[in-house]
Amino acid sequence: MSKQVRTIVIAGNGTNCEREVANACRLAGAEVADIVHIAELLTGRVRLEDYHFLNLAGGFLDGDDLGSAKAGANRLRHAQVAGSTVSVADQLRSFVADGKLVMGVCNGFQLLVKMGLLPDLDGSGRQTTSLTFNDRGRFEDRWSWLAVDEDSPCIFTRGHKEFYLPVRHGEGKFVVEDEQVLQRLEEQHLAVVRYADTELRPTMSYPDNPNGSVSAIAGVCDRSGRIFGLMPHPEAYVHRTHHPRWTREELPEEGMGLWMYQNAVRFVRDELL
């Protein structure tokens, strides 16, 4: 077990993308990519501490009924792990403190933000940003260009300037509590990826910026660069046939989304094994 890269994808109560996330982890070289239902964590049969890389997959936790991921965040905070006095949220905080990796995609990003784990500018765990309804008021599925802040501490985007990935959400507009939060995000290079035009210039214009996110922000990381969340779906572009124009363009076999998982696996091998 010591030489295995062990990844976990949490499922249940409305997650939808767990299978393709686990597949991306496997393709990126992880020896273990377990899809674990939240009930397994709550019964204590599976423990987060046995893994290196935690994935929070896209979906509609509890239908996003109280706002995206709100009810999900509430469950993680309050539901106790059987036979212990800790919640899953407590386990998650220990996991992060141990120097491990967390990536949340779409609903998983919304969950990290609403639990206060991202961007967590001052380490207090207080929620300072949010994700809300797209400016156009509708769910949309379309592909977007993302420009990477290359000075970001983010582990997952290391060595890459750009990504082309699908967005599939109705509540993906990134907003901040106040200007200071935005300023700190940008100064510390925590606004990892931004919606961009085909020239990779961040943009506020629809549809290149599909939801009206502040400062075109599509994903953020914490100060360590080990917790990362984004609205676009990297697990949905791991092979060239995922690309919407694969029948007309010359593309490499591996899709751009796979790069993020490869970076994660490499980090685990280099730093955690």
Known catalytic residue at 18: no
Q: Which is nearer to another protein, 261 or 267 (CB)?
A: 261
In the three-class reduction of DSSP (H, G, I as helix; E, B as strand; rest coil), residue 271 is classed as helix
Q: Which of 52, 169, 233, 243 is catalytic?
A: 233
Q: Which is nearer to another protein, 205 or 246 (CB)?
A: 246
Question: What is the nearest approach in angstroms of another protein to the Cβ of residue 269?
Answer: 23
Known catalytic residue at 171: no
Q: Which is nearer to another protein, 202 or 212 (CB)?
A: 212
Q: Which of 25, 154, 235, 242 is catalytic?
A: 235
Strands 32-37 and 53-56: unpaired
Question: What is the nearest approach in angstroms of another protein to the Cβ of residue 273?
Answer: 25
Q: Which of 106, 169, 242, 243 is catalytic?
A: 106
Dist. CA 151–CA 199, nearest whole Å: 19
Q: Which is nearer to another protein, 31 or 65 (CB)?
A: 65
Report the phi/psi class of residue 213: left, alpha or beta, with left for phi > 0 and alpha for psi in -120 to 50. Answer: beta
Nearest to 103 by CA among 204, 202, 12, 24: 24
Greatest alpha-carbon span in the chain = 56
Known catalytic residue at 17: no
| Residue 200 host element (H or E) | none
Question: What is the nearest approach in angstroms of another protein to the Cβ of residue 177?
Answer: 5
Residue appearing with tokens 């990504």: 163
Contact assessment for residue 58 and residue 104, using Cβ atoms and an 8 Å cutoff:
no
Contact assessment for residue 217 and residue 181, using Cβ atoms and an 8 Å cutoff:
no
Question: What is the nearest approach in angstroms of another protein to the Cβ of residue 166?
Answer: 5
**Sign of the alpha-carbon torsion through 184, 189, 190, 194:** positive
Q: Which is nearer to another protein, 132 or 224 (CB)?
A: 132
Residue ranges in contact with another protein by CB under 8 A: 11-17, 19-20, 23, 37, 39, 42-43, 58-60, 62-67, 70-71, 73-75, 77-79, 114, 127-130, 132-143, 166, 168, 175-177, 212, 233, 235-236, 238, 241-242, 244-248
Dist. CA 71–CA 62, nearest whole Å: 6
Dist. CA 17–CA 224, nearest whole Å: 26
Question: What is the nearest approach in angstroms of another protein to the Cβ of residue 43?
Answer: 6
How many CB atoms within 10 Å of residue 24? 30
Report the catalytic residues. Answer: 106, 233, 235
